[in-house]
Chain A
Amino acid sequence: MSQGQNREWELTCPLVSSDIEKLAAGDLVYLSGPVYTARDGVYQHMLIDGNAPPIDLQELTNVSLQSSPAGVEVSPGEFEVASLQATAGFRYAQYMPQLLEEFGVKAVVGKAGMSEQVYQEVFRKHGAVCLTTMGYGLGAIYGRAIKKVLGVYWVEELGISEALWTFEVDRLGPLLVEGDIHGNSFFAQVNDDINRQLGALYEGLKPPVYGRIGEEQKPETELF
């Protein structure tokens, strides 16, 4: 990974395959167009419980955010979002085959990505990428990019935070390409570098006199 030479792309949603194919792990992306949110609540309600979405999601877009916006209902049926951030995506890896297969999602925007194995086995097969929000505290920058809340669905069933939100965004970014269609993970490469120096910091520190059941003795390990 050559940091500092991160390529930047301005892309329009729904994404076309020629755009997705040029994205490499470590690139920066700005998205414009329609997107929708889906995390714990929507995955359970739509994918596991089998409830059909109230709108044709695939018709709307192929970009899904693992996000629950800081937004409220300002008047009956009218919603606004002030700030936006995605949540840790590793815990949703189990839903990816179905989401990509049945809903044609080509870009999942989460936080911190998933394992390289998921990219190899699921994302590569569907020609999809995994993007991550950046800084993990750029809520105001991302919030500014939301031009319009198109709709909010399943508020009754899932609560406002887990509801399905659809947005029109303008230059939502910077987002980082974490997993590309070849199955490469940006963080897997970074972690290789970090792990090389991590072991040395433990040298000379005696192990705890009393262990813990299931204790992971190798700090180089990814825990998901």
Chain B
Amino acid sequence: MSTTSTAISRELIYQVAYETNKRAAIVVPQDGLAAFGEAWERESKPLAHFILGQILENAKLAVADARPMCGDTGLPRYYVKLGNEARIDGGVVALERALRQAVADITQDIQLRSNRVHPLTRRNPGNNTGVFAPNIDYSFEPGGDWIDIIAVHKGGLFGTDYRMLFPADGTDGIKRFLLDNMAEFARRGLSCPPVVVGVGLGGTKDQAVTLSKEAACLRLIGDRHPDSEVAALEEELRHLANQTGFGVMGVGGDTTALDVHVEIAYTHTGGLPIAISQFCTAYRRSVARVFPSGEVEFREDPQWFTPYYRREGIE
């Protein structure tokens, strides 16, 4: 890997930010489509079966008409993974500018809802940008000369919670918190189930919340954590979430959670912080890798949680 790699142009970054943002709003990712299809096939409750069928039909119409899959287009945001050798024409400042411009432009062009407002005055700039908006989060990867741009449109009102548990609470506390979260937010379908549940376990309070959101939005349905104990907990929690019986839209059904993803971070010896985020039925994500050659590769798997990102040692 050359340390003098060609810089990736800011125009290309803008184009890819624009395209991923557009696809995220309109196209249900393949893992989501497969999971909705399986849920529809095995659903035993007729009304839930009917609604899951409508969700599949909606996914087709959204692509056919190039219209957002949901009328609440959420909060557009970006996750950016920078290869350690990647260089950007204009630097990271140019990249951030391109991402913000792409959000403003796409809001007008494919008719995203202008959701972002000032929290007190409620002033709406009309383009989904503003103070700290859109969110842009970063991670890094050794060796790569590329940039991954991941657009996510995440709903914003229901499904997220944080709690400081303690080591004595253990797995019982984790299960209880999940059940509480489902009872609070899947009831009447407020969090728009079936959802992908992300659990952030450990770390600091802010890390737990951040990891819960990344776990919900940036892993494929069916993916399991490499730590076998965490993977076993994921299976157990998925089963538990579905045993609640809220189902699609909370009308009563077999599938409330399409999956549960748990991410762990080393934490204070006296604590067990936990956070949950739910990624709603409008499952919106698009991923692309930009190379210095100008080549762009769209793919399904965000590959956000790499072994390096989850590293345990010094290196």
- The chain A residues found within 8 Å of chain B, CB to CB, are 3-6, 41, 67-72, 80-88, 111-113, 134-144, 159-162, 174, 176, 186-187, 190-191, 193-194, 197-198, 201-202, 204-210, 212, 219-220, 222-223
Contact = CB atoms under 8 A, between A and B. Distances in A.
Contact of A137 (B112, B117, B192, B243): B192
Contacts of B165: 208-209
Interface stretch (B45-53, B87-95, B299-307): B45-53
B245 interface: yes
B285 interface: no
Interface string B183-198: 1100111101000000
Interface string B237-276: 0001001111011111000000000000000000000000
B57 interface: yes
A88 B281 CA distance: 15
Contacts of B110: 82
Interface string B156-200: 011000011110110011011001100110011110100000000
Contacts of B240: 201
Given A4-B47, A144-B61, A209-B169, A135 B71 contact: no
Interface stretch (B1-9, B119-127, B135-143, B213-221): B119-127
Given A138-B58, A161-B124, A144 B175 contact: no
Given A85-B71, A161-B114, A198-B244, A193 B252 contact: yes
A206 B58 CA distance: 42
23 contacts: A3-B46, A4-B47, A4-B50, A67-B71, A69-B113, A70-B68, A72-B107, A82-B110, A83-B111, A134-B249, A136-B282, A138-B55, A139-B67, A140-B59, A159-B123, A161-B115, A161-B117, A162-B122, A176-B251, A201-B243, A205-B172, A209-B168, A219-B179
Contacts of B57: 141
A219 B123 contact: no
B69 interface: yes
A190 B250 contact: yes
Contact of B67 (A82, A160, A204): A82
B286 interface: no
A85 B157 contact: no
A206 to B, nearest CB: 5
Interface residues of B, number: 68
- Most chain B CB inside 10 Å of its own CB: which residue of A88, A113, A136, A193: A136
A112 B186 CA distance: 11
A202 B252 contact: no
Interface in B60-101: 61-62, 65, 67-73
Given A6-B50, A87-B157, 12 more contacts: A3-B251, A4-B46, A68-B72, A72-B111, A82-B67, A139-B70, A139-B72, A187-B187, A194-B244, A194-B246, A198-B245, A222-B187
Contacts of B61: 140-141, 144
B166 A88 contact: no
B54 interface: yes
Interface string B275-292: 000001110000000000
A201 B251 contact: no
Contacts of A138: 54-55, 58, 70
Contacts of A72: 107-108, 111
Contacts of A142: 71
B190 A206 contact: no
A142 B57 CA distance: 12
B190 A112 contact: yes
Contact of B281 (A136, A159, A186): A136
Contacts of B158: 88
A190 B252 contact: yes
Nearest to B180: A219
Contact of A70 (B46, B58, B71, B157): B71
B187 A191 contact: yes
